[in-house]
Amino acid sequence: MNINNLNHPFFIYPRGFMSEYNNYNLYRKEVVKLYKFIDKLQLQIELKHNDNDILIPLIIGSSMEDSLIKFNTSIENIFQFRQLFPNYINNFIKSNLNKKFIQIIIISPDNFFSDQSYRPFFTLYETFDFVLTNSNEYVYQNELIEIKINIFNCPVPCTETRNKLICKYDSIITGLETNPYDISSYTQTQIDLEFINNFYIKIDKLFNMSTNYFNVTIIINSWVNFKNLDGYSEKYNMFPKILKLANQYNIIATEWDFIDELFYTKIISNYNFGNKNYNGININYVFNEYLTDLPQNLIDINFKDLYIIDFNSEHCLKKLIL
């Protein structure tokens, strides 16, 4: 398999090449970079961090980062920078005095990540002094904590099965007088399909660390959502194998409804222990457990069954007393 000859190993975004998510030349390069990163990560953890408590947040999409950049939301919603740096990361750091390694993996096709001068909001609003060590790579380190953040500017690999949609867009592309989109067909090649399969073999091995290594925790957050456009992002529809593997390894996987002020996300994986199943519960990913830091514009929001991820609590979940 020559991964340098990839075509389109992704789910087709709404409106396809006519959407803002059409930088296919960049996406192909970035998804290869992601593949190689995942392939090496397990070995790096085993060699460098086997005596650490390890947290791996896998963060997919950057909806509110995009809204904040484009001024499509109120500045009061600046708290949404936590979509890319959820509060459970700080909860993990505070959970005990052990040495910790936190590897945040962000996968998003939003084009602001291709701007080398762009700095995510968490680098401005978090208390950690992050250092840019490479393109879309940030590191913070002290005697007890290492936080590493790697951003991959591409969609998540996915087998595309909507053949009628492929034919529709291929027909449109064929009819163009000029084609500036770096793609001539959405038909996935054999190389694409082999790449997708091998990518999920690597993800499977990574997720398996959460069961074979007592000190590794993986949490998946999807912020992929489209306002007023149902049927695309729900239930990890754009990358279903991620959810399947989360269920297989009993990993918390969440998704979020696109409401600018919404500060909680919902577990959609079958996260369970014995007769306790946490599918459907809401996770506060922004504020403290007492909600004493809620901004004024959120005071009147109604919510129920609200939890936080707490690494000192049973099953890493703590229900908030409201």
Q: Please give the Cα distance from 29 to 51 (Å, whole number).
A: 34
Average pLDDT over residues 163-171: 93
Distances 54 to 46, 129, 272 between C-alpha atoms, Å = 11, 20, 21
pLDDT above 80 for 301: no
Distances 35 to 31, 107, 205 between C-alpha atoms, Å = 6, 11, 13
Average pLDDT over residues 158-176: 92
Whole-prediction pTM: 0.96
Both tokens assigned to 162: 């909507």
pLDDT above 70 for 2: no
pLDDT above 80 for 136: yes
Predicted local distance difference test score (pLDDT) of residue 67:
95
Both tokens assigned to 180: 């500036």
Beta pairing partners, 149:
104, 138
Q: Please give the Cα distance from 275 to 272 (Å, whole number).
A: 7
The three-state DSSP-derived secondary structure of the chain is CCHHHCCCCECCCCCHHHCCCCCHHHHHHHHHHHHHHHHHHHHHHHHHCCCCEEEEEEEECCHHHHHHHCCCCCHHHHHHHHHCCCHHHHHHHHCCCCCEEEEEEEECCCHHHHCCCCCCCHHHHCCCCCEEEECCEEEEECCCEEEEEEEECCCCECCCCCHHHHHHHHHHHHCCCCCCCCCCCCCCCHHHHHHHHHHHHHHHHHHHHHHHCCCEEEEEEECCCCCCCCCCCHHHCCCHHHHHHHHHCCCEEEECCCCCCCCEEEECCCCEECCEECCCCEEECCCCCCCCCCCHHHCCCCCCCEEEECCCCHHHEEECCC
Report yes or no: 268 and 252 within 8 Å, Cβ to Cβ: no
Dihedral angle of Cα 225, 316, 146, 108, to the nearest 10 degrees:
-10
Residues listed for the chain: 322
Average pLDDT of the chain? Answer: 93
Report yes or no: 38 and 245 within 8 Å, Cβ to Cβ: no
pLDDT in tens, 233-255: 899 999 999 999 999 999 999 99
pLDDT in tens, 258-288: 999 999 999 999 999 999 999 999 999 999 8
Share of the chain above pLDDT 90, in %: 78
Q: Please give the Cα distance from 260 to 80 (Å, whole number).
A: 8
pLDDT above 70 for 180: yes
Closest C-alpha to 148, from 89, 104, 118: 104
What residue ranges do the domains of the chain occupy? 3-258
Average pLDDT over residues 119-124: 95
pLDDT in tens, 53-112: 999 999 999 999 999 999 999 999 999 999 999 999 999 999 999 999 999 999 999 999
Between residues 293 and 228, the one the model is more confident about: 293
Backbone torsions φ then ψ of 75, nearest 5 degrees: -65, -20
